A = this chain, B = another copy of it.
Amino acid sequence: MLEPASYQQVTDWLDARTAEPAPEDLATARSPGRVLAGGVSVPDDYPAAPTAAADGYALLSQATLGASDYNPLPLRIGSTVEPVVSGQRLPGNTDAVIRHEDTDRRGEVLDVYAPVASGDNVIPVGREARRGETLFGAGHVLRPADVALLIELGVATVPVVRRPRIGVVVVRGDVPDACGPMVRALVAMDGGAGDQPVHPDETGLAAALAGRDDDLLIVIGGSGTGGNDHAAEALREAGEVTFRGVAISPGETVTLGVVRGRPVIVLPGPPLAALCAYDMLAGRAVRQLAGRSPRLPYGTRRGTLVRKIASGLGRLECCRVRVIGERVEPIAVADNRTLSTAVRADGFVLVPEQSEGFAEGDEVTVYLYAQRY
């Protein structure tokens, strides 16, 4: 019989083993979506010289004084009247850009139909960024535009969190394997990398665990009781079992331990239990190793319960719900075994360990499954 550890105790243990993500340097062009492992500073003022902000002609603004549709000023193309395109550095003797639509070119003469002031259509030195400025701090997730700006600034590589290698080992002899692809997809969404799940047979399991070199190893199946404890036994043989069962539901048989100094999480084989135990424990570890927030990555919304949720004191319960407008409807509260309760749900409500549930009419927070893609 299992004596489950408290959720808090287990997350404290797991957090301590996943709190220091490993850094690596990466070409800036390949870094969208990655998490910065350190701050990024601006190497030089950008732009380094006044730069055209429009297509047209760079010129001296004072030469356009008084120009209008009724009084076009003819200027000779030359060192102080030069065609430029947006983004191009201004020639030395010019201080403004006039747009094509305010000019008319006849051979080497440019008729100017409007005045421009000094600095018009020009990006001044350092307008984008100042030398030494810290543009992004550690933990920032690089967005596509961030990457474009860093490339413009001449930042060739950035320090990012290395994608943690997450091994997925499937024990349960399901043919075909339903849990492996699910957990693999969850790992990828949480920022982990790794190969396809492997499926060693039960006799070779301990050796398979001992031979891995992942940052985190997720084993699926064999965490149960009676003859269904192959993975827990293999973990004991290959390393050590630290927690045999955790006070979460579904997923109470989840087992944690260590092999060669690396954390191992054995998820229960039934898919719903595997999903919930992944969400509450394994996903948290993957996200921490990937430099992300350990918090649940699902979008949330508030709503009002249309039926009560009863839960046992002392365990963290993940209750699947439907959301219809502001109404939150629990799905088959008693049914903690069928995956379709998660598939038919919009998300889930968590009932904390120290609570016996929520009453009809209570306002609750729903974590929304759908909002991760």
- Using a CB–CB cutoff of 8 Å, the interface residues on chain A facing chain B are 1, 28-30, 32-33, 53-56, 83, 85-87, 99-101, 123, 127-129, 135, 141, 143-149, 151-152, 156, 172, 174, 176-186, 189, 224-228, 268-271, 275, 299, 335, 337-340, 342-343, 369-370, 372-373
Interfacial chain B residues near A128, Cβ < 8 Å: 338-340
- In the complex the two chains form, is A271's CB within 8 Å of B340's CB? no
Query: With contacts A55-B225, A128-B340, A148-B179 known, what are 4 further pairs, Cβ within 8 A?
Result: A83-B227, A144-B181, A144-B275, A149-B271
Known: A145-B182, A185-B147. A176 touches B226 (CB 8 A): no
Contact B342 A87, beta carbon cutoff 8 Å: no
Q: How many copies does the complex hold?
A: 2
Ranked nearest first, the 4 interchain pairs of A and B with the lowest CB-CB distance are A32-B185, A85-B228, A148-B182, A144-B185
Main secondary structure of the interface of A (DSSP, over half): mixed
Check A143–B372 contact: CB distance below 8 A.
Answer: yes
Check A226–B339 contact: CB distance below 8 A.
no
Report how far A135 CA is from B339 CA in the complex, Å. Answer: 13
6 chain-A/chain-B pairs, Cβ below 8 angstroms: A55-B225, A83-B227, A86-B224, A100-B226, A144-B189, A145-B339
A268 to B370, CA, bound (A): 34
Q: How far is the CB of A88 from chain B (nearest CB, A)?
A: 9
- Tell me if A85 and B178 are in contact (CB < 8 A): no
What residues of chain B lie closer than 8 Å to A101, measured between beta carbons?
1, 225
Q: Give the distance in Å from the alpha carbon of A275 to the alpha carbon of B1 in the complex.
A: 59
Query: Which residue of chain B has the shortest Cβ distance to A339 in the bound complex?
Result: B149
Identify which of B146, B228, B343 contacts A145 (C-beta below 8 A): B343
Flag if A337 contacts B55 (CB, 8 Å): no
Complex contact B182–A147 (CB within 8 A):
yes
Q: How far does the Cβ of A332 sit from chain B's closest Cβ, in whole Å?
A: 9
Q: Distance (Å) between the CB of A113 and the closest chain B CB?
A: 12
Contacts A32-B185, A123-B337, A128-B339 given; does A85 touch B227 at CB 8 Å = yes
